[in-house]
Structure 1
Amino acid sequence: MKIFRIVIIEDEPRAARQLQKLITNSTYSFEVLSILDSVEEAVSWLETNLNPDLIFMDIQLADGLSFEIFHKTEVKAPIIFTTAFDQYAIRAFKVNSIDYLLKPIQKEDLQQALQKFQATTYTASINSEVLKELLHSLQAPNVRNGILVKEGSAYVQVPIATLAYIYSETSITFGITIDNKRYIIDETMDQVQSTLPYTDFFRINRGQIVHKSAIQKIEPYFNHRLKLEVLHDRNQDFIVSRQKASNFKEWLNS
């Protein structure tokens, strides 16, 4: 049986480990060559290594959308995208027969995608027009007006506009409002981010999303990062990762 060489491009360590475990436990033989967590790292790896047989690629990486990889280097391998975005927001995948898996990835869905990979003659080329449509869809998703949160034993809906920031702690997602109320959000950070307006919210690192109006001060921080002073910080440090610092500055000026 042929052993397929794969690369995982995913910036969430736990998600990467889970995917690798699912692949290892599948009925097919695969060797994971590398796990990469950013556009920059992916481009560097692809330009200095032989082409893998298959790439699993998350849409949102530490330093931007993974579609940027295709603009910076030639990708000569079939892609299975992984994403927490709603299937309606990624309808354009079907146009170019690109496969995708919705997070959290289920064993049965992965098995089906791998069966399709083995049974189909994949084209490694990605249609640029499809990418443009995908990019538009993801930057302008079906934004909601409110978010369901826990209040005691009940659920209430909090207007998105009232959130100062969202953060994750011990695998629980919390939302802090501009009047300093804290709520538990029954969604992952990826799920929350997928329906927030990009013009208002920015994910500064894996565990924090901030509203533009909640940012009170920005200071340079070591290792080319940025440190933010945020409304109602609750003794948290808000650090913009090195990979996201440039995009963050552009977002502030947009």
Structure 2
Amino acid sequence: MTILLLEDEYPAAERLQRLLTQAVPEARVLAVLDTVASALAWLAAHPAPDLILSDIQLADGLSLEIWEQAVVPSPVIFTTAFDAYAIRAFQANSVAYLLKPVKLAELQAALAKLRQWGGLHELRVRSEELRVDGIPITPNSSLQTLNSIERLLDTLRPYKTRFLVRQGEQLLPLPVAEIAWFLSRNETVTLVAADGRRFVLDYTLEQLEALLDPARFFRLNRQLIAQLPAVRRLHPHFGGKLLVDLHPAPSEEVLVSREKASAVKAWLEG
């Protein structure tokens, strides 16, 4: 994967390159540029990179001006200390909008989205012009752009801070901070609190993944999503898998696949 990095703060650029090395070892940063002008010149003289990782505010203006002044086919992950520019970011092929300081788990989640969208850039939407949040969508708009808008809207919605759970005949608001993990068994999802209380929820794990902060929650396997404080330790297991100790302890072993093992370790490191 080839990456163009747009960042005008040297420490932030160094941090992003370190995170990229951990998230995508095969990634190759083609250039690190700190101005809109240099980015426009570079893009005009080189083939489009596989990905652009860009701060919103560069030394000579907003990086969003690049997409307003030139056709840039590369997907982009925006990084910024502010969330005021998210709507304008929709008009670029934006994969994600990450707030600084960027965390490894968030960057990995954004790169996973990028991999999921691979190949969609050749598809076109055949429809009358419409608008999403005021952004014009024309017959030439790519399906990737439409998906980008939908998913960016999702990222701007706040993550859940509490769940309404049933206890006897009562409904209680349970803060997310008090949750240890969620378990899916026989099409039933159970919320387990840090104090051991259990509540049945009307959610699937897939729905919960979209509602929970990925920096705090991780889907360890098909059946279980855990919150960071509930993970006590990891044990190497057969075939490169990991055995996870949780508190409160589930009735069955919690195993992480070999494919997910490195992502779990990165999430725990933060």
Deviates more, 1:158-167 or 1:225-234: 225-234
1:151 maps to 2:167: yes
For the Cα contact (< 8 Å) 1:219–1:228, is it kept in 2?
yes
- 1:200 corresponds, among 205, 216, 233, to 216
Partner of 2:115: 69
For the Cα contact (< 8 Å) 1:200–1:211, is it kept in 2?
yes
Please give the alpha-carbon distance, in whole angstroms, between the structure 2 residues aligned to 1:141 and 1:224: 36
Cα distance per residue 1:51-90 (max 9 Å; x no partner): xxxxxxxxxxxx96652226866754469xxxxxxxxxxx
Secondary structure of the 1:187 match is coil
Please give the alpha-carbon distance, in whole angstroms, between the structure 1 residues aligned to 2:155 and 2:238: 30
Offset, 1:215: 0.7
Change (3 A) 1:239 1:77: farther
For the Cα contact (< 8 Å) 1:148–1:157, is it kept in 2?
yes
Tell me the TM-score normalised to structure 2 length.
0.48
Change (3 A) 1:72 1:158: same
Partner of 2:256: 240
Cα distance per residue 1:125-144 (max 9 Å; x no partner): 7359x74x766655564212
**Highest RCO, 1 vs 2 (Cα 8 Å, sep ≥ 6):** 1
Please give the alpha-carbon distance, in whole angstroms, between the structure 1 residues aligned to 2:141 and 2:198: 48
Please give the alpha-carbon distance, in whole angstroms, between the structure 1 residues aligned to 2:140 and 2:241: 40
For the Cα contact (< 8 Å) 1:149–1:183, is it kept in 2?
yes
Unaligned runs of 5+ in 1: 1-62, 80-90, 98-119
Structure-to-structure mapping, 1:73-112, within 5 angstroms: 76-77=122-123
Cα distance per residue 1:141-183 (max 9 Å; x no partner): 4212210122124322211100011111111111111111111
Offset, 1:240: 1.8
For the Cα contact (< 8 Å) 2:180–2:194, is it kept in 1?
yes
Structure-to-structure mapping, 1:122-201, within 5 angstroms: 126-127=144-145, 131=148, 138=154, 141-201=157-217
Please give the alpha-carbon distance, in whole angstroms, between the structure 1 residues aligned to 2:234 and 2:207: 27
Secondary structure of the 1:191 match is helix
For the Cα contact (< 8 Å) 1:218–1:227, is it kept in 2?
yes
Secondary structure of the 2:211 match is coil
Secondary structure of the 1:205 match is coil
Secondary structure of the 1:250 match is helix
Change (3 A) 1:162 1:224: same
Change (3 A) 1:64 1:222: farther
Please give the alpha-carbon distance, in whole angstroms, between the structure 2 residues aligned to 1:178 and 1:221: 26
Secondary structure of the 1:249 match is helix
Secondary structure of the 1:233 match is coil
Residue type of the alignment partner of 1:188: T
Partner of 1:231: 247
Change (3 A) 1:223 1:185: same
Unaligned runs of 5+ in 2: 1-107, 126-131
Root-mean-square deviation over aligned CA pairs? 3.4
Secondary structure of the 1:194 match is helix
Partner of 1:52: none
Please give the alpha-carbon distance, in whole angstroms, between the structure 2 residues aligned to 1:182 and 1:243: 30
Please give the alpha-carbon distance, in whole angstroms, between the structure 1 residues aligned to 2:266 and 2:150: 21
For the Cα contact (< 8 Å) 1:146–1:157, is it kept in 2?
yes
Number of residues of Structure 1 aligned to a counterpart in Structure 2:
156
Partner of 2:266: 250
Percent identity (aligned): 21
**Structure (1 or 2) with the larger CA radius of gyration:** 2
Residue type of the alignment partner of 1:187: Y
Change (3 A) 1:219 1:185: same
For the Cα contact (< 8 Å) 1:162–1:178, is it kept in 2?
yes
For the Cα contact (< 8 Å) 1:96–1:127, is it kept in 2?
no
